[in-house]
A = this chain, B = another copy of it.
């Protein structure tokens, strides 16, 4: 494993010191922040998420705040999904595209009020993007990065822990809906969300000086359920079919290629960015699609930094974007971003670690 050199270009999160105390040993970078990825006990970290409750520093899921009379108008211009019926307190998953219909991020859009939205973003710079569009269109809206840092509580026991801290009202919160509240005087937003399919909540800390305090509240409250540290889990998220923007997509990927078509509303206003291109792509059908892929060989593969080419009948037909050893399937699995002519059940070869490996295309999610 290579080390990561400290630099003020890469910001620590408000939970940084807490994760150091928990024994964090590696990070990835995400929106120019450090995101903890491993605490030295990968098996424990995986099974805690599947069977118990896991606590994650995901402060790197930053907020692009749209504030002002035209906040809602800007949100709709940016998002090729119909937001006209979105309620205060409701979040919606929105693939953002550029003018060519290429995916540039896939945030949750939180509507806090008619004049206040947050885009809780994946790993690309949407402040610049939204700021450019707002200014060029002369909208009356301020685009900024507020002092807001999510922490995730994930796993089948997450609801019990969050209810214990916040009250039983959280049990009634629907997926992606949220409420503004306080936890022992710390201002937060509590949302049912998180980058796993094991259930849980994200607690958006609204005061960056209170990271350690908030961390400890959940650490202590979760002790009876065996809470412990973790992070977005590579094995679980691929088993669950969760796409990572920028990792499973590239600079030409459109939402239809990565199973996001159901979040596109082609009837949104014509001034929505990318909608003309998306209507054309929807009519023509995308050239690639996203399938699962299972390697036949059993020896666990470690994730790498590069995509792995996929071949069929000796011809390159796509890429295995990320590959991981699945704990529950006991096989190497990943996502194939692949020619639309390829189908579930097809036998292919994937070149992983320089070796051609026989593999099979599958449906998603795996589990």
Contact = CB atoms under 8 A, between A and B. Distances in A.
A145 B34 contact: no
Contacts of A126: 128
Interface in A9-38: 9-12, 16, 24-30, 32, 34, 37-38
Interface stretch (A47-55, A246-254, A292-300): A246-254
A71 B321 CA distance: 33
**Dominant secondary structure of chain A at its interface with chain B:** loop
A4 B3 contact: yes
Please tell me how many copies of the chain the complex holds: 2
Contact of A7 (B9, B10, B104, B305): B305
Contact of A9 (B12, B24, B28, B99): B28
A6 interface: yes
A25 B2 contact: yes
A125 B125 contact: yes
Given A9-B247, A32-B246, 11 more contacts: A6-B302, A7-B322, A8-B247, A8-B304, A11-B306, A16-B305, A98-B131, A99-B135, A125-B125, A128-B128, A133-B136
13 contacts: A1-B4, A4-B26, A5-B26, A5-B37, A7-B244, A7-B322, A8-B247, A8-B322, A9-B28, A34-B305, A125-B128, A126-B128, A144-B251
